[in-house]
Structure 1
Amino acid sequence: MPVLLLPGAARADDTLDGNTQNPPPAGPSGDVDGDKLTSTAGGVVFDRSKNGSGSSVGAVTSATPWTPPACWYAPKYTPAQLQATLEPIWEAGSTGYEWDAEQRKRYVDGDPYKDFNKDKTGEGYFWDSYVNKNYPPGWNSCEEPIFWVDQGDPPPADIENAVTPEILAQLAYAEIRVPGTEVTLAPEGTTKVNLPTWAWLDTAQFKPVSVTASIPVLGIQATTTAVPDSLKIEPGTGDATTYPASGVCEINNGKIGEAYAAGKADETPPCGVKYLRSSGEDSYKLRATITWKIHWTGTGVNVPVGLPDGEFGAEQDVVVQEIQAVNR
């Protein structure tokens, strides 16, 4: 999850022992209690109650080049919290007299904030930058000094990357977890050369999942939802035929593929694979990947807005044997 980055002061502390950055916090959190603001995730609170669960879940990978926000601005400090953050840095003298003097002038002496704005306690928050834990390109582009925003007012118009419902939706995207994708095969585990192998998924596992991200002190939120769309079968060898030929099995009436039943041995499976060569002493690595359509809605946005598709897949072993002929 995002790591707190305090412009100027914290950057001085982020370069310790040979410019090694401090590790990010262990996990996301966020809470509000009256005029007290505590957060290690940009003030963002995540509701994962409708997310995927179980031992096989994992994060989706964007099917197109895309990354969540590299950095953003959001409420971080009450007046008392900013004072408690900055004064120890000034007392340590690690950032230099000139920098400390500039900061005291800005936050204590009234240019523009007097005594950390403590006379406005409960009327707003100091905003600061937050950084994506993965440090993608642009992670260090949020360099505005800490600034005050009255409760209910928008941040200054010249502040880029101020948090919005869209940014929350993108942060929630990174929290989406979907179930694993081991398909059921018939024959199971071991099949024969030139024998159509049926493939299907337990659709009870593949229902829409969602994560809601919110900043309670701002009264904004966004819900990002992932809906299963299709299954792609990759046999693990070029010596195979997939059904359909594209290898992509569309979800039809909530079903992915069709379960094999007695009497269908001569039928072509709607989803499956036919191996044309034995796997010998080894096995083929069949990969099954679900594509998830992802969209979001949120404060002021009631019509779903698309985000890049996500993919999540897994491999499973398939042994392919030659059909043994019986000579008489």
Structure 2
Amino acid sequence: MDGGKAGGGISATAGAVVFDRSNNGAGQTAGPVAAASNWTPPACYYAPKYTPEQLQKTLEPIWQAESTGYQWDAEQRDRYENGKPYKDFNKDKAGEGYWWDSYVTQGREGDPGALDCEADIFWVDTNDDPPADIPQAITPEILAQLAYAEIRVPTTEVDLAPANATKVNLPTWAWLDAAKFKPVSVTASVPLLGVQATTTAEPVSVKIDPGTADAQTYPASGVCELAGDRIGEPYAKGKAEQTPPCGVKYLRSSGNGSYQLRATVTWKIHWTGTGVDNEQTLPDGEFGGDQDVIVQEIQAVNR
């Protein structure tokens, strides 16, 4: 369970991972970035959970209840108490390491991937790496991926000119003040292990979807790249005859309604962490928003 506030500050998941969200996006319109590919951060992971005494207090009542079957109980007793391979819950190593167990990533409780962490509870000595054959064991890279899931970015509403309603065949300028879309970051750490990773998201472009096939985007791809401190270019008097570097031209009236223009910002994701010399990348993220655009016919005056 997350013990902190959703909006920011420092909070901890049960037992191991601590998140610092003080540089994260905030506000009611902020939301999680979704990877542009099919990649997702891990739904479960392994991290320190028990001291020797805590593991004993956790397992012995289960064995005594005999609710898990004699064979399973006997195998577990052999594994953790009878020296196959651990003896007496590793009490002779108290203070020299921790028992690691699985955690489900917050918000992924119903995800099928949450069932992927099936390894038995295992011991890791202080300053040792977790077993290489357990890919979900906490490392700086796993921490970076968990931090990715915590990143929040503002929803996207582009400025348009004309602002309230545009006309058929009239180029409509679109732009985004990049100052409103500053880089955001989340740091995930395991204080018990002295490892951490900071994952950062930076806006790089916005994709314009006019909400109808009867439209032409500028540029043709609909993708407007970040240039300096903004995406696109604000409309100014005297530019009516120019082609906007970012925008849309509607070819048909929206009638009595409106089109749903969707602007989706692509965020470049990268991370750094303990023992990592060079900046590492993660899949780009996306987050967008819809806005109404009224398109009117140009009224001709007959004389």
In structure 2, distance between residues paired with 1:78 and 1:196: 66
Task: Name the counterpart of 1:315.
Answer: 290
Is contact 2:177-2:229 (8 Å) kept? no
Work out which of the residue numbers 180, 197, 200 in structure 2 matches 1:225: 200
Runs of 5+ consecutive residues of structure 1 not aligned to the other structure: 1-24, 30-38
In structure 2, distance between residues paired with 1:246 and 1:158: 44
Per the TM alignment, residue 237 of structure 1 is displaced from its structure 2 partner at its CA by 0.9
Query: What does the per-residue CA deviation read over 1:95-151, in whole Å, with 9 as the maximum and x for residues that have no partner?
Result: 122322332233233433333223332221001122342555554343322121121
Task: Check 1:51–1:40 CA distance in 2 against 1; reply closer, same or farther (3 A cut).
Answer: closer
Letter in 1 for 2:146: L
In structure 2, distance between residues paired with 1:135 and 1:223: 27
Letter in 2 for 1:118: K
In structure 1, distance between residues paired with 2:175 and 2:134: 50
Task: Name the counterpart of 2:137.
Answer: 162
TM-score for the superposition, normalised by structure 2: 0.90
Task: Check 1:156–1:198 CA distance in 2 against 1; reply closer, same or farther (3 A cut).
Answer: closer
Work out which of the residue numbers 37, 42, 48 in structure 2 matches 1:75: 48
Is contact 1:169-1:213 (8 Å) kept? yes
Task: Name the counterpart of 2:74.
Answer: 101
Per the TM alignment, residue 290 of structure 1 is displaced from its structure 2 partner at its CA by 0.4
Per the TM alignment, residue 299 of structure 1 is displaced from its structure 2 partner at its CA by 1.2
SS in structure 2 at match of 1:303: coil
In structure 2, distance between residues paired with 1:296 and 1:84: 38
Deviates more, 1:289-298 or 1:263-272: 263-272
Runs of 5+ consecutive residues of structure 2 not aligned to the other structure: 5-11
Alignment size in residue pairs? 294
Task: Name the counterpart of 2:239.
Answer: 264
Letter in 2 for 1:50: N
Is contact 1:189-1:317 (8 Å) kept? no
Work out which of the residue numbers 209, 215, 218 in structure 2 matches 1:240: 215
SS in structure 2 at match of 1:174: helix
Task: Name the counterpart of 1:274.
Answer: 249
Task: Check 1:290–1:42 CA distance in 2 against 1; reply closer, same or farther (3 A cut).
Answer: farther
Is contact 1:70-1:135 (8 Å) kept? no
Task: Name the counterpart of 1:3.
Answer: none
In structure 1, distance between residues paired with 2:265 and 2:72: 53
Deviates more, 1:301-310 or 1:83-92: 83-92
Task: Name the counterpart of 1:8.
Answer: none
Per the TM alignment, residue 187 of structure 1 is displaced from its structure 2 partner at its CA by 1.1
Per the TM alignment, residue 163 of structure 1 is displaced from its structure 2 partner at its CA by 1.7
Task: Check 1:160–1:188 CA distance in 2 against 1; reply closer, same or farther (3 A cut).
Answer: closer
TM-score for the superposition, normalised by structure 1: 0.83
In structure 1, distance between residues paired with 2:77 and 2:191: 30
Letter in 1 for 2:172: T
Task: Check 1:190–1:263 CA distance in 2 against 1; reply closer, same or farther (3 A cut).
Answer: same
Letter in 2 for 1:269: P
In structure 1, distance between residues paired with 2:115 and 2:31: 28
Task: Name the counterpart of 1:128.
Answer: 101
Alignment of structure 1 residues 179-218 onto 2, 5 Å: 179-218=154-193
Once the two structures are aligned, what percentage of the paired residues are identical?
Answer: 72
Deviates more, 1:138-147 or 1:271-280: 138-147
Pairwise CA RMSD: 2.0
